[in-house]
Structure 1
């Protein structure tokens, strides 16, 4: 169903030596463009790109017989990209659609592209690789290269669509105007990647439409795989660097505020703790232990940590669903990894708040509701850790565990109290903070609504608690595997106890990534079990290395995806740098 709007559509047809196709292209486009109610007017901008055959004369003849055909003749710098740019400069439509001059695109797909723009999207990707799309006569070598490059783009930019390289797309006029044809650098087929990715970076909304593609029946193909491989590679690298400079800058300005001096001092503090531990345990001894590590065991540690995040994602999705909200798990996983990545580069524990904000910037999730599910997660985590410590105490009792256990229950009680205070004194809190935080009313209303929904679904809470157990079993398994990697047969109970204590201690935001704090906690606990300090320190370092490896690599990829997926949010909110500063000041 359309909105009732109608559009002036410009089809831009690049034509270099297409005398065998161009008449058929116009004949195929015309009846489709004339018969679609949503298209009130149209033009077919045919770009004669330095043709050496009769293409130019044919276009002029067609234009004399049909005022909808607009010829553009180019006599310099031939190239598919230059032809499309010239056509876009001449185009007058509300919607611009490149259409191949060899008739490989299907004109009957144009109405669906226009309808997708009418639904509110700025770019409609014509995709040959989704259900309803089709390819006929596509060369195998090009297919392999196409899929490899498209999957690389999807991974690097977080674009979910399967056919970024297809030239057959519909662009809202504003997209091309804001990008600017003069700023487009591609002269060849890499323009098919440059325009949509730049639109993605600017925050325009995109969608995907199935289309049909059929190999040409006349003329010679212009896309040569051997010539364009390096061109696509350079264009990808250029866009990736440019896109990240823009996207990550906005993302980190939104999440990271405060003095860099404080971050540096926290890092130095963590390094001083490590230096003290090395001095205490003996650097040469630790180095000799680490020189013989078993990498397969380190890989096992990394796998355990990665799977713990998979289970965390499952648990979070259950909580969100019980609160009445459903989001794709891949988005939830990326938000989760982004939050841990942020915690691993900053001393303050901003991860939980950042996770809720990331889900808002990528999926428009209500911030207050999301934060309530994360607080419940933290309560479940602390209950699980306290339970683990209680079970461990049954096997190896230490008086110091009593204090740690008591501390964990204090944290649990504090979290529950905060939720109860917010729930009971909502209006009082709103009156106190509404002038400084205008959105607080909506956030607290949604938080209460989320809590009410969760409270009516005890089965979901039971499942979340059950899922918390494998989360932390996988987490402490990393320490168990780290011990194996240095050749020490550490009891799983000891590993679990050291892990629980380390995780509880790291609730205090002292250093980025718990640097030094984690090593001191694990080493100290293992010493209680008669593990030599140098060996305990080595185990802690290997465990921390494995965690860092997973969080920095997977977290960085997730952060890049979150940054690109958030572009629409920054565009929608129109936040300039000064506006972002004001937001954080308030």
Structure 2
């Protein structure tokens, strides 16, 4: 039901956007695009998925076999599941499947996925902070967003780096959260504690994973900049480092289907100093393709993972 509501919200926002802008202008933007840059920008999905697969394989314990191929299939299948299941359950299913196949034991598989997603989110925030601090056109809204993003970066850095801070956060969250969420917070706290114990043992491994995550997200933001070039538009790269993460963060709000709608509206708002609304709407469609292409590529591998999803959902039913 939640998925249907989020899809309806996305369609309403998109309808409002396309009703307000010149839809024929949107078609014209794609007709006049640079096909070479379009191929390059869309093709960046391949190395980005490979880098993410390498990181997942690298995250595994030393004597545990996963392999780049299996990691790649897991990531693609979870991308497919994230498009059709609520609350990023595709990532949870990925953790469950690693445990089911014997790659990891206990709650370490969930801890690994939690750490992986935490690195992604913090890397996105760090690039956003870097871009916002250098962004020249700061009005009141951008100063507020800069303060919010910097504060979020400090908070998540402490949550990842400090066991004491994480313990205090979970105690506070469970004290103020509704009763129905407390069991989930207990599970997350256990996984978070295990993540701290496991990943902070090897500082060199931690540095490699952190650097890899930062470079992966630089690749994602570079891909969005290539999308802009493909649309025969222009934005300074440093400005793109500030604006594109803000749009991605808007798409992470749990309001719409895969961020469609909120991300598009944010792109139109943030990039208006550089190009018109039809071009920004076209950029929104290309940004959606960043999630759609891996989801389609994961369809051939989905069957072997569906049993894991059914077992994951069975206790809930």
TM-score norm. by structure 1 comes to: 0.46
Asked if structure 1 preserves the Cα contact closer than 8 Å seen for 2:92 and 2:110, the reply is yes
- Once the two structures are TM-superposed, the CA of residue 449 in structure 1 deviates from its matched residue by 5.0
- State the SS of the aligned residue for 1:321: coil
- Once the two structures are TM-superposed, the CA of residue 581 in structure 1 deviates from its matched residue by 6.5
Alignment of 1:272-311 (within 5 A): 272-311=12-51
- Once the two structures are TM-superposed, the CA of residue 543 in structure 1 deviates from its matched residue by 2.8
Corresponding residue number in structure 2 for 1:85: none
Residue 282 of structure 2 corresponds to residue 538 of structure 1 = yes
- Give me the whole-angstrom Cα distance separating, in 1, the residues matched to 2:194 and 2:86: 32
Alignment of 1:483-562 (within 5 A): 483-527=228-272, 529-545=273-289, 547-562=290-305
- Give me the whole-angstrom Cα distance separating, in 1, the residues matched to 2:45 and 2:300: 16
- Give me the whole-angstrom Cα distance separating, in 1, the residues matched to 2:65 and 2:196: 15
Alignment of 1:16-31 (within 5 A): none
- Once the two structures are TM-superposed, the CA of residue 403 in structure 1 deviates from its matched residue by 4.1
Corresponding residue number in structure 2 for 1:118: none
Corresponding residue number in structure 2 for 1:49: none
- Once the two structures are TM-superposed, the CA of residue 414 in structure 1 deviates from its matched residue by 8.5
Query: What residue ranges of structure 2 are gaps of 5+ in the alignment?
Result: none
Asked if structure 1 preserves the Cα contact closer than 8 Å seen for 2:25 and 2:278, the reply is yes
Comparing 374-383 with 411-420, greater Cα deviation is found at 411-420
Residue 316 of structure 2 corresponds to residue 584 of structure 1 = yes
Asked if structure 1 preserves the Cα contact closer than 8 Å seen for 2:56 and 2:116, the reply is yes
Asked if structure 1 preserves the Cα contact closer than 8 Å seen for 2:252 and 2:259, the reply is no
- State the SS of the aligned residue for 2:44: helix
Corresponding residue number in structure 2 for 1:255: none
Backbone CA RMSD of aligned residues: 3.6
- Once the two structures are TM-superposed, the CA of residue 466 in structure 1 deviates from its matched residue by 0.8
Asked if structure 1 preserves the Cα contact closer than 8 Å seen for 2:26 and 2:279, the reply is yes
Asked if structure 1 preserves the Cα contact closer than 8 Å seen for 2:234 and 2:275, the reply is no
Q: Highest Rg: 1 or 2?
A: 1
Residue 9 of structure 2 corresponds to residue 269 of structure 1 = yes
Q: Which has the higher helix share?
A: 2
Alignment of 1:237-252 (within 5 A): none
Q: Which of residues 192, 203, 206 is equivalent to 1:458?
A: 203
- Give me the whole-angstrom Cα distance separating, in 1, the residues matched to 2:128 and 2:312: 43
- Once the two structures are TM-superposed, the CA of residue 497 in structure 1 deviates from its matched residue by 2.4
Asked if structure 2 preserves the Cα contact closer than 8 Å seen for 1:273 and 1:516, the reply is yes
Comparing 270-279 with 295-304, greater Cα deviation is found at 295-304
Asked if structure 2 preserves the Cα contact closer than 8 Å seen for 1:273 and 1:517, the reply is yes
Instruction: Describe the superposition over 1:478-501 as per-residue Cα deviations: whole angstroms up to 9, x where unpaired.
Output: 211211222113322233323211
Higher relative contact order (CA 8 A, sep 6+): 2
Comparing 465-474 with 388-397, greater Cα deviation is found at 388-397
- State the SS of the aligned residue for 1:583: coil
- Once the two structures are TM-superposed, the CA of residue 371 in structure 1 deviates from its matched residue by 1.7
- State the SS of the aligned residue for 1:584: coil
Asked if structure 2 preserves the Cα contact closer than 8 Å seen for 1:332 and 1:359, the reply is no
- Once the two structures are TM-superposed, the CA of residue 553 in structure 1 deviates from its matched residue by 2.2
C-alpha spacing 1:264/1:423, structure 2 compared with 1 (3 Å): closer
Query: What residue ranges of structure 1 are gaps of 5+ in the alignment?
Result: 1-260, 571-576
Q: Which of residues 352, 363, 370 is equivalent to 2:91?
A: 352
- State the SS of the aligned residue for 2:60: helix
- Give me the whole-angstrom Cα distance separating, in 2, the residues matched to 1:313 and 1:422: 33
Comparing 365-374 with 397-406, greater Cα deviation is found at 397-406
- Give me the whole-angstrom Cα distance separating, in 2, the residues matched to 1:526 and 1:535: 9
Asked if structure 1 preserves the Cα contact closer than 8 Å seen for 2:126 and 2:153, the reply is no
Instruction: Describe the superposition over 1:288-316 as per-residue Cα deviations: whole angstroms up to 9, x where unpaired.
Output: 21222334323222222232221122222
Corresponding residue number in structure 2 for 1:334: 73
C-alpha spacing 1:422/1:504, structure 2 compared with 1 (3 Å): same
- Give me the whole-angstrom Cα distance separating, in 2, the residues matched to 1:554 and 1:354: 17
- Once the two structures are TM-superposed, the CA of residue 532 in structure 1 deviates from its matched residue by 1.9
- Give me the whole-angstrom Cα distance separating, in 1, the residues matched to 2:48 and 2:168: 30
Alignment of 1:460-475 (within 5 A): 460-475=205-220
- Give me the whole-angstrom Cα distance separating, in 2, the residues matched to 1:357 and 1:390: 34
Asked if structure 1 preserves the Cα contact closer than 8 Å seen for 2:130 and 2:242, the reply is no
C-alpha spacing 1:449/1:538, structure 2 compared with 1 (3 Å): closer
Asked if structure 2 preserves the Cα contact closer than 8 Å seen for 1:348 and 1:510, the reply is no
- Once the two structures are TM-superposed, the CA of residue 415 in structure 1 deviates from its matched residue by 5.1
Alignment of 1:86-485 (within 5 A): 261-321=1-61, 325-363=64-102, 365-366=104-105, 368-397=107-136, 398=138, 399-406=143-150, 408-409=152-153, 412=156, 416=160, 420-421=166-167, 444=190, 448=193, 451-485=196-230
- Give me the whole-angstrom Cα distance separating, in 1, the residues matched to 2:126 and 2:313: 43
- Give me the whole-angstrom Cα distance separating, in 1, the residues matched to 2:202 and 2:212: 16
